A and B are shown apart, each in its own frame.
Chain A
Amino acid sequence: DAGITQSPRHKVTETGTPVTLRCHQTENHRYMYWYRQDPGHGLRLIHYSYGVKDTDKGEVSDGYSVSRSKTEDFLLTLESATSSQTSVYFCAIRPDRGPYEKLFFGSGTQLSVL
């Protein structure tokens, strides 16, 4: 599973509050990704990172920011959460070596914005 840990696993918050989700990996791979999953939309890419301080936007980046100050951590922040951001959030990594064609996913964070 490439040592991926997402935290928290579940979170309930109120509209307008800031929320930060954390993705932690133990193997120092460069590429990390944040996805959201909603019924009828599949998995959509929010942001990705290809190294420390190197990030780029995905398909649905509006309302989200990310930071990567250490190789092992990729943070996803909702500056002011909205109900439309209620979703399941998955982090993924792509190994730098070995099976670099594969994505390995975390267990997900269920976020509810009330």
Chain B
Amino acid sequence: DAKTTQPPSMDCAEGRAANLPCNHSTISGNEYVYWYRQIHSQGPQYIIHGLKNNETNEMASLIITEDRKSSTLILPHATLRDTAVYYCIVSPRGGYQKVTFGTGTKLQVIP
């Protein structure tokens, strides 16, 4: 399965957009990009996923480049409650059997 690369940490001012990048240059054609986040010591929580088109839901937007080698998770108006570790993973749809969540990006939202 393809691996991902994320910056270890980022800061974002409260109320501003948080843009979290992810590199997945070895992604295969049938692999989706998934984003999860983990707030403090809770279990990770699903945010969004996509194949090649941009996606938006009530939590975030996902922008996938045309060559699918990278993506960006956008939190349009970051709040303090968005402070968390954000994980980007790639996997066939629903196929988590060989997936490891890396160390993710620690997003700190600053008042």
Give complex CA distance A43, B101 in Å: 5
Residue with the greatest number of chain A CB neighbours at <10 A, chosen from B94, B98, B104: B94
Give complex CA distance A42, B97 in Å: 16
Give complex CA distance A29, B104 in Å: 28
B42 touches A108 (CB 8 A): yes
Q: Which secondary structure characterizes the binding site on chain A?
A: strand
Give the Cβ gap from B60 to chain A, nearest Cβ, in Å. Answer: 14
A103 touches B46 (CB 8 A): yes
Q: B interface, how many residues as a size bin?
A: 20 to 34
Give complex CA distance A3, B64 in Å: 32
A101 touches B103 (CB 8 A): no
A56 touches B97 (CB 8 A): yes
Q: Which of B16-56 contact A (CB under 8 A)?
A: 32, 34, 36, 41-46, 49
Give complex CA distance A56, B99 in Å: 13
Asked whether any CB of chain A lies closer than 8 Å to the CB of B15, the reply is no
Give the Cβ gap from A107 to chain B, nearest Cβ, in Å. Answer: 6
Take A88-B41, A90-B43 as given contacts and tell me if A101 and B100 are in contact as well, using a CB distance cutoff of 8 Å: no
A45 touches B46 (CB 8 A): no
A42 touches B103 (CB 8 A): yes
Residues of A within 8 A of B103 (CB): 40-42
Q: Mark A30-53, 1 if CB is under 8 A from B, else 0.
A: 010101000011111100101000
Interface residues of A (CB under 8 A from B): 31, 33, 35, 40-45, 48, 50, 56, 58-59, 88, 90, 92, 94, 99-108
Interface residues of B (CB under 8 A from A): 32, 34, 36, 41-46, 49, 87, 93-94, 96-104
Of the A-B pairs whose beta carbons lie under 8 Å apart in the complex, a sample of 21, sorted by A's number, is A31-B96, A33-B96, A41-B103, A44-B101, A45-B100, A48-B96, A48-B97, A90-B43, A94-B94, A100-B94, A101-B49, A101-B93, A101-B94, A102-B46, A103-B36, A103-B44, A103-B96, A105-B43, A105-B45, A106-B43, A108-B42
